[in-house]
A and B are shown apart, each in its own frame.
Chain A
């Protein structure tokens, strides 16, 4: 009897604890979120933050949305993927053919390991899909818990008394959440400029946005403030760096601590990645206790760089290289993975990627990092 009483008490205690956990107040990160229709006009870039919060870069609205996906059931290992004819399947799920859609971005929820896809259709309607197993699910964007921050347009602010000015578009090229900040890179449809923002999260009404004047030197002689295509934050020897890849191919390192509002920050060019190439995605992973950095490209296979090599490469590039398409600086390995259009870490041991094969078929595959 005592045993039963003890069991009942234990059960009651467990129930109270569970109930208390369930009734815990909303997370600090989402307490300012509102529920409704965020009126997202386009989804150009996706990136997950903590607690299943998905950041969506909306170039048309010149805004970043934080979406509470509530997709927070912990899964340690992602599913294995090997889906052929992937664009036809994703198009079929939207009742149309691949020529009527464009897959803008892909991101894995690090908690649930669910893959999210940002899709655009011919008339520009944005769609957010989840892939569960081989089944697509639509994420309803009309009634969600969200917060929003408009990307400040420093130029428009300077000229706010000006009438009839058309909106400046930052085509958001990449978004990353890092240590309480949303980092956003963009390309302008007008001036050729560095448009890199650091925005504190949770977003506030009066938003502190750091606009970074990032420059990089080519071979120590010529410098420019060109726009960044894609980037990641990496840690080398205890210091955090922004690893930025430019539209004009250099790979440049900036110490995060040096990136301050309005300052002229000069980066260190650690590699040039060859002509006619545009970097697409960057991820980092660990293998046998060593850290690596992966980058997919429009016109090159996936490149793998060793963190140690980056850390050991102290000088900036000084000598121009004359061989066509030869990259210089930090050495890297070309993985046998050409035409990888999207890539993300699936879990601690696998990456997931979308690849155009030699036959033109688009495939979605996962691959253990131990083979990379």
Chain B
């Protein structure tokens, strides 16, 4: 018997109900009768176990079978002729539990795994380019489903030096990884201690990537969604390593392709170098002459070398401004204000970051159409 309180009839959740009548459990257990147990589901999760009994169950305890003898945290409550156990967390799919009164086994049940969840997919690995700078700072991994919040991601995402046929150990293994709120986008840093000039890791181990070598980043097939579904296939991104990028992104090197008046044509900004795939989308705003942000869609294109803005409304004649937040980084972590690491014995790149949170490019529609 099963009850699906979410009334999702299409998703008839099978409950595997097992009643064990123990004649003896260890030497001290007594024979007990079978107690019918019903698992109650909510939104596909096994949230309660309902035991049909007239006995006082307040002192009973629930244990995970095969685990250390630690009672499952939760509360017993009475509901008609049933005693209901509500665990702090839903029961785990596939796990078996025992209900005990002291040493006496009162019943047991197993929660059946569900197979109807979606397998996650890898949507993108950024940077998209297959040639990356030697001082590459970070990579982004974008998934179709929220990914598991436990386990060591570095067992599942690896980077190998194919030229030398060895594990590259290039990622910084932070104990808590950097995910977006939805847990669908992961940021991994290449060890910044090895990228920073003159730090011990940099002096002793050198940059994480070697110029001229070929590498492959692999996402293992066992990476699971937060609902426990594995990728089912591995994903690989091979790339070659170019010389380091030790130049700040500069708006003076960008060109703007302006759209025609009275159209919804795309405004294009050509960076002339690949920029950070996530920051590139989020740090650029198109504003009208009144300083109001235009609504529309931001996209990066051509391996993150171009920014495309598709407006919701048609372009009208006038002057516009492209606002770029200074935190926009290139692939080596150099932003509009400063290099990833800078030599303080020279004056290069020394600016007051606080006063330069954004930079701007002006363009016009209708009066003077063309490239900047």
Known contacts A104-B176, A138-B73, A298-B175, A162 near B285 by CB under 8 Å: yes
Q: Quick check: is A120 within 8 A (CB to CB) of the other chain? A: yes
The residues of B that contact A91 with a CB separation of less than 8 Å are 64, 67
Q: Are B150 and A248 in contact (CB under 8 A)?
A: no
Q: How far is the CB of B229 from chain A (nearest CB, A)?
A: 11
A272: Cβ under 8 A from any B Cβ: yes
Q: With a CB–CB cut-off of 8 A, which chain B residues contact A247?
A: 172, 174, 189, 192-193
CB distance from A321 to the nearest CB of B (A): 6
Stretch at the interface among B177-185, B212-220, B253-261: B177-185
B165 within 8 A of A: no
Cβ contacts B342-364/A at 8 Å (1 or 0 each): 11110000001110011000000
**CB of B187 within 8 Å of the partner chain:** yes
Q: Which A residues are CB-close (under 8 A) to B179?
A: 169, 171, 189
Pick the residue among B276, B293, B357 that contacts A162 (CB under 8 A): B293
Q: B344–A217 contact, CB under 8 A?
A: yes
Q: What chain B residues lie within 8 Å of A166 (beta carbons)?
A: 180, 282
Which residues from chain A contact B320 at a C-beta distance below 8 Å?
none
- Report the Cα distance A165→B281, complex, angstroms: 9
Segment of B9-17, B20-28, B76-84, B89-97 engaged in the interface with chain A: B89-97
> Given the interface contacts A94-B73, A95-B89, A165-B282, does A325 sit within 8 Å of B354 by beta carbon?
no
Question: Do A137 and B200 touch across chains, with their CB atoms under 8 A apart?
Answer: no
User: Smallest distance from the beta carbon of A98 to chain B beta carbons, Å?
Assistant: 9
What's the tally of chain B residues with a CB closer than 8 Å to chain A? 84
Chain B residues with Cβ under 8 A from A239's Cβ? none
Q: Interface on chain B toward A: helix, strand, loop, or mixed SS?
A: loop
Which chain B residues in 153-204 approach chain A with CB under 8 Å?
169, 172-181, 183, 185, 187, 189, 191-194, 196-201, 203-204
CB atoms of B92 and A120 under 8 A apart: no
Cβ of B59 under 8 Å from chain A: no
Q: State whether B199 touches A249 (Cβ < 8 A).
A: yes
Q: Are B282 and A275 in contact (CB under 8 A)?
A: no
Known: A163-B295, A278-B175. A92 touches B67 (CB 8 A): yes
Residue pair B173, A320 in contact (C-beta under 8 Å) = no
Tell me the smallest distance from the CB of A315 to a CB of chain B, in Å. 16
A191 on the B face (CB < 8 A): yes
Smallest CB gap from A342: residue in B: B175
Whole-angstrom distance from the CB of A205 to the nearest CB of chain B? Answer: 24
Q: Is the CB of B89 within 8 A of A127?
A: yes
B279 at the interface (CB under 8 A from A): yes
CA distance A120 to B179 in the complex (A): 14
Q: For this complex, into which size category does the number of interface residues on chain A fall?
A: 35 or more
Q: Which of the segments B30-38, B262-270, B333-341 contacts the partner chain?
A: B333-341
Q: Which residues of B contact A289 (CB under 8 A)?
A: none
**Residue pair B149, A123 in contact (C-beta under 8 Å):** yes
- A192-B340 contact given A122-B149, A248-B201, CB 8 Å threshold: yes
Task: Tell me which of B193, B226, B353 contacts A248 (CB under 8 A).
Answer: B193
A36 within 8 A of B: no
A124 lies within 8 A of chain B by Cβ: yes
1/0 per residue A315-338: CB within 8 Å of B?
000001111111110000000000
Task: Let me know if B183 and A124 touch, CB within 8 A.
Answer: yes
Closest residue on chain A to residue B152 by CB atoms: A102
Question: Which of A27-35, A69-77, A220-228 binds B?
Answer: A220-228
Partner of A123 from the list B193, B227, B282, B285 (CB cut-off 8 Å) is: B227
How many angstroms from the CA of A298 to the CA of B354 in the assembled complex?
34
Q: How far, in Å, is B255 (CB) from chain A's closest CB?
A: 23
- How many whole Å from A170's CB to the nearest CB in chain B? 10
* Chain A interface mostly: loop
Q: Are B340 and A136 in contact (CB under 8 A)?
A: no
Query: Contact string, A88-128, partner B, CB cutoff 8 A, digits 1/0?
Result: 11111111110111101000000000000000111111010
B327: interface (CB < 8 Å):
yes
Cβ-closest chain B residue relative to A158: B357
Tell me, yes or no, whether A24 is within 8 Å of chain B by CB. Answer: no
The winner among A95, A137, A159 for most chain B CB atoms within 10 A is A95
- Chain A residues lying within 8 Å of B183, measured Cβ to Cβ, are 124
Docked pose: A256 CA to B95 CA in angstroms: 51
Query: Least Cβ distance of B216 to chain A in Å?
Result: 21
**B88 and A127 form a contact (CB under 8 A):** yes
Chain A residues, Cβ within 8 Å of B343? 221-222
**Which residue of chain A is the closest to B46 with respect to CB atoms?**
A95
B193 adjacent to A96 (CB under 8 Å): no
Q: Which 3 A-B pairs have the closest CB atoms?
A: A248-B193, A275-B201, A92-B67
Q: Provide 8 A-B residue pairs closer than 8 Å at the C-beta atoms, listed in order of the A residue.
A: A93-B72, A94-B73, A96-B64, A158-B325, A247-B174, A248-B199, A280-B175, A322-B203
Residues on A facing B (Cβ under 8 Å): 41, 44, 60, 85, 88-97, 99-102, 104, 120-125, 127, 129, 136-138, 154-155, 158-159, 161-167, 169, 171, 173, 187-193, 213, 217-219, 221-224, 226, 229, 247-250, 262, 264, 272, 274-276, 278, 280, 298, 320-328, 341
B residues neighboring A (CB under 8 Å): 62-64, 67-74, 87-89, 91-92, 95, 97, 137-138, 146, 148-151, 169, 172-181, 183, 185, 187, 189, 191-194, 196-201, 203-205, 224, 226-228, 276, 278-279, 282, 285, 291-293, 295, 298, 323, 325, 327, 329, 333, 335, 340-345, 352-354, 357-358
Known: A167-B181, A218-B196. 17 other contacts (CB 8 A): A92-B67, A92-B70, A100-B92, A136-B73, A171-B176, A190-B276, A190-B278, A190-B327, A191-B276, A191-B279, A221-B344, A222-B341, A247-B174, A274-B201, A278-B175, A320-B200, A321-B204
